[in-house]
Amino acid sequence: MSIKIGWDSAEQQIVRLEFQRGWTWDTLNKAIQRADDLIISVPHTVHLIIDIRNAGGLPGDFMTRAGDIFAQGDARPNEGKKVVVGAGPLIRAAYSGFLAVYGHKLQSRPFHFASSLDEARDMVE
């Protein structure tokens, strides 16, 4: 799988999704389901760190497909912060656009941005 999913620590308080070059929308959907399974497997708050530093380029249909993902699903009761590591200006600008369209879904579940894994971990502590 070109998206690695797992606990970031033994305390099971952070799930990390680590994108690798060659990921597909199908692998992303499976990764989201796996992350959801991990989150609901424990009773305490679980944060997500989404590491896209090695993801490669964005697919051509990124805006449409990412919008579809934002529009679906509800937060898990114990879902904490979501921090994206390595998002460049294009992804941050796209997120601003998504806020304008899907703000009602994203306001209660916003994404935060970090430039390093350590910074992301600090943000969720």
Cβ atoms of 38 and 68 within 8 Å: the answer is: no
Q: How many domains does the chain have?
A: 1
Task: State residue 79 phi and psi, 5-degree precision.
Answer: -75, 125
Q: How buried is residue 67: exposed, middle or buried, by Cβ count under 10 Å (0-12/13-18/19+)?
A: middle
Which two structure tokens, joined as six digits, stand for 28? 């992303």
pTM of model > 0.95 = no
- In this prediction, residue 94 carries a pLDDT of 79
**Residue 52 belongs to domain with CATH number:** 3.30.750.24
Q: How confident is the model at residue 12 (pLDDT cuts 50, 70, 90)?
A: very high
In tens, the pLDDT along 26-83 reads: 888 899 999 999 999 999 999 999 999 999 877 767 767 776 666 666 778 899 999 9
Q: How confident is the model at residue 122 (pLDDT cuts 50, 70, 90)?
A: very high
In tens, the pLDDT along 69-121 reads: 666 667 788 999 999 999 988 888 877 877 777 666 666 678 899 999 999 99
Which secondary-structure segment (H or E) carries 11? none
Cβ atoms of 16 and 47 within 8 Å: the answer is: no
Q: How buried is residue 77: exposed, middle or buried, by Cβ count under 10 Å (0-12/13-18/19+)?
A: exposed
User: Which residue segment(s) compose the domain that 33 sits in?
Assistant: 3-124
CA 83 to chain centre: 7
Q: How confident is the model at residue 1 (pLDDT cuts 50, 70, 90)?
A: low
